[in-house]
Amino acid sequence: MLHLKDLVHVYSNGVRALDGVTLQIPTGMFGLLGPNGAGKSSLMRCIATLQTPTEGSIGFGDIDCLSTPHKLREKLGYLPQDFGVYPRISAYAMLDHLAILKGISERGQRKEMVDGLLEQVNLWSVRTKALAGFSGGMRQRFGIAQALLGNPKLIIVDEPTAGLDPEERNRFLNLLAGIGEDVVVILSTHIVEDVTDLCPKMAILAGGQIRQEGSPQELISALRGRIWKKTIERAHLDAYKTRYRLISQRLFAGKTIIHIASDKDPGEGFESVAGGLEDLYFMTIHPDERVA
């Protein structure tokens, strides 16, 4: 169980990335949703002991992560948003080296673990190729392989599927779903589908603060009967913006489809739709800004 209490982080240039974040994260997949610049990566780095937050406390089980970060590192697996590698080292050699650094010093056990992980992430065929020549998807797969080394109890995955093609993305999500039950997995992303597909618990982070927290089902059920949809002409968009609370607009086959939030039936050709996580997400990050 991971406890975050009143985390504040201010960068040296004065940017206040985290502004009083308090969360309790249980075992299982936890989705952290938020737009770019919300502070997700800052939060992930703080938990992964790569940054010391300006204020607040982080506890994992009975480990105080700020005063004894090395104790947390013994149980940690971290996949950063972007990482680099040494130029001319093969994937196998690098994974082997990282396995040693993660404390698997016995050679037989290490070989078994490294081989197993490379098979699991489907990199066995390219294990002797230089890491620097890997494509984006292969690099992410290597990243998750190193994050899974040493059977960690806390896995932090930062925007893993951004930039992956659909097949890679599915493969990656299947891999994450296969991680054991007693592990805390934090999936930080701006892709709403990832959270919908995988996470029984989630939170929405925007502007450095937690805006929503809970299970996706519960949060979406609060929207039941309040989301309405209509296909409109693009020219009328501004009129609708002033009269209703517009959640999202998207294009479909050249027509503009808008979603609005309204407690009662607005009439005018709006049809009720079941709210999705995306509607909740947009509503949360853009609170009602309608001009009266």
Partner 1 sequence: MAAPQVTLVAGANVHKNAPMAIAPVLMTLTTFFMFVTTAFGANVFIRDQETGFGPLLYTTHIHRSDYVLGRTLGAFLVCALCLLSVPFGLILGSFMPWLDKETLGPFRLFDYLYPYLFLALPSVLFMVAIFSTAATLTRSMMGSYLTALALLVVYFTLSALSGKSDVFREIYAWLDPFGIGAIAKVTRYWTAEESNNLMPPLAGVILGNRLLVMGLAIGLIATNLGLLRFEATGQLPKTRTRLWACVSRHRPFQIVSHPDGQFQVSARTWQFSYVGRVLKRHRFLPGQSILS
Q: Tell me whether residue 40 or residue 226 sits nearer to partner 1 (CB atom).
A: 40
User: Rule CB under 8 A: is residue 265 a binding residue for partner 1?
Assistant: no
Other C-beta atoms lying within 10 Å of the C-beta of residue 228:
23
Q: Tell me whether residue 137 or residue 208 sits nearer to partner 1 (CB atom).
A: 208
State the number of binding residues for partner 1 (CB under 8 A): 40
Among 98-106, 160-168, 189-197, 264-272, the segment contacting partner 1 (CB under 8 A): 98-106
CB of 173 to partner 1, least distance (A): 22
| DSSP line for 182-195 | TSEEEEEES-HHHH
Binding letters toward partner 1, positions 29-58, x by CB under 8 A: ----------------x--xxxxxxxx---
Q: Are 25 and 210 in contact (CB under 8 A)?
A: no
Please tell me the distance from the alpha carbon of residue 192 to that of residue 86, in angstroms, as a whole number.
33
Q: Are 207 and 252 in contact (CB under 8 A)?
A: no
Please tell me the distance from the alpha carbon of residue 290 to that of residue 285, in angstroms, as a whole number.
14
User: Rule CB under 8 A: is residue 136 a binding residue for partner 1?
Assistant: no
Please tell me the distance from the alpha carbon of residue 66 to that of residue 94, in angstroms, as a whole number.
29
CB of 82 to partner 1, least distance (A): 7
Q: Tell me whether residue 136 or residue 214 sits nearer to partner 1 (CB atom).
A: 136
CB of 136 to partner 1, least distance (A): 14
Among 22-30, 78-86, 191-199, 239-247, the segment contacting partner 1 (CB under 8 A): 78-86
Q: Are 142 and 82 in contact (CB under 8 A)?
A: no
CB of 81 to partner 1, least distance (A): 9
User: Rule CB under 8 A: is residue 83 a binding residue for partner 1?
Assistant: yes
Among 7, 38, 39, 78, binds partner 1 (CB under 8 A): 78
Q: Are 246 and 260 in contact (CB under 8 A)?
A: yes
User: Rule CB under 8 A: is residue 82 a binding residue for partner 1?
Assistant: yes
User: Rule CB under 8 A: is residue 146 a binding residue for partner 1?
Assistant: yes
Among 61, 64, 68, 86, binds partner 1 (CB under 8 A): 86
**What are the residues facing 4 on neighbouring strands?**
23, 58
Please choose, from the candidates 80, 77, 48, the residue with its C-alpha nearest in 3D space to the C-alpha of residue 158: 80
CB of 122 to partner 1, least distance (A): 20
**Cα-flanking dihedrals φ and ψ of residue 45, to 5°?**
-65, -35
CA dist 17 to 3, 12, 50, 63, 287, Å? 19, 11, 15, 24, 20
Site residues (vs partner 1, CB under 8 A): 8-14, 16-17, 19, 45, 48-55, 69-70, 73-74, 76-78, 80, 82-87, 98, 101-103, 143, 146, 150
